[in-house]
Structure 1
């Protein structure tokens, strides 16, 4: 099994093209709940190709993009090469290389389930100011959507590794213990993408658990094609998410 840090090395192109953005509404929610503004220094932990960092870069915040995977990190550097407020850091959640007591917001989008909880908690507390905040976010596939339920069942049946690496293994109770002694609130908002068949395949390939072996991939694509045809309208598939925010 691949190490967590290496899982996305060969998926950067698909990740950049086919993963969902983070709704701009997140900034409004953070402003209303914790007083977030453009003067806050942000550490985006597990920043990947920069999908989550883009929210804060575009908002004018200074931001550290902490990413241990070289291919993902270099993609973010290329993406933000004209943005002087983004600094890519070759580091991990457990050892960010950031100075202590300097960050206003630690943010992790689609990444927390890869962290060592005990070590990253110590590290987040080290780099945060006394009045700093932690926000964890996942773009979850919408559990109320019929297609997403069938897609989930397909993954569970055909990709054994999916059960061990999905972020759904992280419970609200575990997150609450991670945040202690802070309290937290959970807020959910809607997000979506529209895919043709090629893009749908790209979205599937972007996942860490999707096998790269050609023979296995072909069998999976056959099943995914059938699923696409069942739910697509006019050769377009609406891929619905529930974006969950955990705000401490």
Structure 2
């Protein structure tokens, strides 16, 4: 739906993926025929994104951030941030986006979150983690508070409509699912190695099948430059 809207206005849009990380969203955009610039301030993540990009990859990589993209004035038709907008200095980033977007361009912040309301497995893991780590809380709780503020009277964005709010699922192997939890350094640091391995073992025991259906929810807004709050 987003792609159709963008291509309806720009046959060959110049796209900027800001806060691109290792290029997960960038590669999705490239697969849909888009081209432009992937902007990431973290050297390690940007270098990994470059490593994963072949010679014909339609996005160039640039060292920059939401507050200072490094792009020229009015050089982007569509600027996106995937799971990253809440990390920025919002006021400075929005000023930067108004600068780099063409007058008829679009800004789209996107979040893909675990759908904890619909995913019984994640709910079980949460209970397990809460038992093992008294201070346990989800980073996603903070992110969801920010996302919800975009739709309420607590934000200058509240007068603008949600463009996309959708549910979907991703099937992954049991091992990949366990690795997703193993990568949570914030949780791991709260326990000693033996305790952490015991938690991973309990998560493993929760998983009956060799495949895990991960339930996700996508939130996306779309704004034109004149709609971006000042």
* Band of TM-score, shorter chain: 0.7 to 0.9
Which is worse superposed, 145-154 or 51-60? 145-154
Q: Following the alignment from structure 1 to structure 2, what is the Cα–Cα distance between the partners of residues 54 and 67?
A: 14
**Contact preservation (8 Å) 1:159, 1:209:** no
Pick one of 61, 86, 108 that aligns with 2:81: 108
Q: Following the alignment from structure 1 to structure 2, what is the Cα–Cα distance between the partners of residues 36 and 89?
A: 26
**Contact preservation (8 Å) 2:129, 2:199:** no
CA positional deviation for 1:153: 4.1
Pick one of 208, 215, 223 that aligns with 1:240: 215
Pick one of 66, 72, 78 that aligns with 1:93: 66
Q: In structure 1, what is the equivalent of residue 120 of structure 2?
A: 146
Q: Following the alignment from structure 2 to structure 1, what is the Cα–Cα distance between the partners of residues 222 and 22?
A: 23
Q: Does 1:120 align with 2:98?
A: no
Pick one of 178, 184, 188 that aligns with 1:201: 178
Q: Does 1:220 align with 2:192?
A: no
Which is worse superposed, 41-50 or 201-210? 201-210
Q: Does 1:31 align with 2:3?
A: yes
Q: In structure 1, what is the equivalent of residue 228 of structure 2?
A: none
Please identify the structure whose Cα radius of gyration is greater.
Answer: 2
- Please give the TM-score of this superposition, normalised by the length of structure 2: 0.80
- Please give the TM-score of this superposition, normalised by the length of structure 1: 0.75
Q: In structure 2, what is the equivalent of residue 10 of structure 1?
A: none
Q: In structure 1, what is the equivalent of residue 169 of structure 2?
A: 191
In the TM superposition, what whole-angstrom CA distance separates every residue of 1:83-115 from its partner, at most 9, and x where no partner exists?
352111111111111111111111111212211
**Contact preservation (8 Å) 2:164, 2:218:** no
Q: Following the alignment from structure 2 to structure 1, what is the Cα–Cα distance between the partners of residues 88 and 185?
A: 15
In the TM superposition, what whole-angstrom CA distance separates every residue of 1:56-105 from its partner, at most 9, and x where no partner exists?
22233222111111111001111113135211111111111111111111
| Cα RMSD (Å) | 2.8
CA positional deviation for 1:173: 2.5
Q: Given the superposition, is the C-alpha separation of residues 66 and 181 from structure 1 closer, same or farther in structure 2, using an over 3 Å criterion?
A: farther
Alignment length (residue pairs): 217
In structure 1, list runs of 5 or more residues that go unmatched: 1-28
CA positional deviation for 1:244: 2.3
Q: Secondary structure at the match of 1:68?
A: coil
Q: Given the superposition, is the C-alpha separation of residues 225 and 98 from structure 1 closer, same or farther in structure 2, using an over 3 Å criterion?
A: same
CA positional deviation for 1:161: 7.0
Q: In structure 2, what is the equivalent of residue 21 of structure 1?
A: none
CA positional deviation for 1:207: 4.2
Q: Following the alignment from structure 2 to structure 1, what is the Cα–Cα distance between the partners of residues 100 and 158?
A: 16
Q: Following the alignment from structure 1 to structure 2, what is the Cα–Cα distance between the partners of residues 210 and 82?
A: 38
